[in-house]
Every structure is written in C-alpha cells, then in structure tokens.
Amino acid sequence: MHEQFDGIARELWSHNASWWQEGFTDGADPEYREQILPLIAKWTEASEKILEVGTGEGQVLRHLLQGRDRTLLFGIDPTREQVELAFKRGGPIRYAVAEARAIPLGNSGFDTVVACLVFEHINDLEPALSEVRRMLVSGGRFLLLLNHPLFQTPESGWIDDQSFGDQYWRIGKYLERKIVVEEVEKDVFIPFVHRPLSDYINTASIHGLRLMEMQEPAPPQGFLDLAPEYYEARFVPRLLGLLFEAL
C-alpha cells in the first residue's frame, strides 16, 4: 500500500505542479503572504544555513533571502516540475530533486531545516524525520508547518445545519490514520496522509527533535475575505506551526 501510494503521489504532484504554482506562490495566496511566510521569517531570524524539505518552486527560500545574509540556502523536492521552476525563479539558492527520506547530502551542518505543508503528504514519518535530524547541527532548529492535523482531517468541514439553525466545524475521525487522495478543487487530486498530532511530536522526539514552541494562528484576514462562508469558523485554526530543537 505504501509503495503504491508513493507512486501515485509522485504522479499527482507532477500532474498538479502548475495548480500549486499558480494558486499558492508568488504572492497569489493570502495565507502564505499574511501568515506562513512571516512566521517562517520570524523563526529563522538568526539562521544562516537553511535546508528546505519539499521546497516546491522555492517561494519560502526566496522570501528568506529578503533583507538577510544567509550563508547557504538549499531546497529539495521530488517533483521535477517544481525544481525546474525554482531554478527559473532564481536567487542564490541551490536545489536538488530528492525526497525527504533520502536527502542527497552528507551530514551537512544546517542550523535550520524547514518543511512547510509537506509532511502531511509523506506516508512514512520515520525516515523523513531521521533525515531532518541528520541534516541539523546540535542546537539547530526544525520548523514543521502543517495543515492543522486536528481540524484538517479527511472528513472535516464547515457544516451549516439548516434544520437546527446551527453552524459548526466538523472535526472528523481525528484518531484514524489514513491515506487519502482528496479532490481539493474540481479535477485536482492531491495525496494526503492523516495522522494525529502526537505521531509528529513523538516520532520527532525519537529522532532527537524536542518541541520548543507551537503556534495555532487564526486564519488571516485575507483568507477570511476570500471565503465568507468560513467567517464563522474564524476561531478554528487551519495552520499548525511546530518549532523543534535538535538535541
């Protein structure tokens, strides 16, 4: 099942590369503009050597270049179409086509590893987190940003219950570990791996990554303005930010 998922996932990411690039990068997405990129910038203020796992077309690394001296920025992603666009969009950043579970670098002494909206698409946490730790110096930081696993379960969603005049966010089967291919918008199928939050924290801990800080920000205004039906759910976070220290 896992190998089958990996093959399907690779194809889907490749097939949907332009959907991601057009809708979510280069300033197109308010959650990135107003929330995700500022949070990553804040958590990397003192970082010099940064590796991004699942870098996509490189928007996070390009953002981290602004106004800062960084010694080394390196991005890996298994989707060739993403890495090709990352090269084109430029900057003094190095890229490689590679998966999180097999990073083609020696023990590189990065002070920071970033993974932004990537690990919820990876079916096997163990090798990926082991690689993250291998890339980091002791005392280094790992920034793990996720679609909030408590609220973004496969069956979650906004319920407008007309019969009772009630509106609420349905959580879904939070404790069920599940691989799903979700139709995130018409004809766009994206692979997700749902797991409870404790899986992330405990597996990170086994691999020498200790939780230092957790952020669950409210959806930013620019997102609420785009999705009026979501306004009532503005107290339900969509993003989870976890900051780990490498022991």
Ligand X SMILES: C[S@@+](CC[C@H](N)C(=O)[O-])C[C@H]1O[C@@H](n2cnc3c(N)ncnc32)[C@H](O)[C@@H]1O
Phi and psi of 116, rounded to 5°?
Answer: -115, 110
| Residue 150 · residue 195 · CB < 8 Å | no
Assess 134 for contact with ligand X (CB under 6 A): no
Of positions 13, 43, 110, 142, contacts ligand X by CB under 6 A: 13
What gap in Å lies between CA 53 and CA 118, rounded to an integer?
A: 8
Chain residues 78-107 in contact with ligand X, contact rule CB under 6 A: 78-79, 82, 99-100
Per-residue mark of binding to ligand X, 19-38 (x: CB under 6 A) = -x----x-------------
Phi and psi of 137, rounded to 5°?
Answer: -75, 160
Q: Which residue is at the shortest CB distance from ligand X?
A: 56
Q: Which candidate, 179, 174, 133, places its Cα nearest to that of 8? A: 179
Of positions 30, 54, 219, 220, contacts ligand X by CB under 6 A: 54
At position 23, the amino acid (one-letter code) is G
Assess 122 for contact with ligand X (CB under 6 A): yes
Assess 153 for contact with ligand X (CB under 6 A): no
Assess 73 for contact with ligand X (CB under 6 A): no
Choose one: 51-59, 104-112, 170-178, 211-219; the region binding ligand X (CB under 6 A): 51-59
Q: Which candidate, 211, 214, 197, places its Cα nearest to that of 246? A: 211
| Residue 55 · residue 95 · CB < 8 Å | yes
Assess 59 for contact with ligand X (CB under 6 A): yes
Task: Output the CA–CA distances (angstroms, integers) from residue 114 to 76, 128, 140, in the order listed.
Answer: 11, 12, 11
CB closer to ligand X, 115 vs 233: 115
CB closer to ligand X, 2 vs 170: 2
At position 18, the amino acid (one-letter code) is S
Give me the least distance between CB of 232 and ligand X, in Å please.
26
Assess 55 for contact with ligand X (CB under 6 A): yes
Beta bridge partners of 189: 183
Residue 108 is encoded by which pair of tokens? Answer: 């590189």
Which residues contact ligand X by CB under 6 A? 9, 13, 20, 25, 53-56, 59-60, 77-79, 82, 99-100, 116-118, 121-122
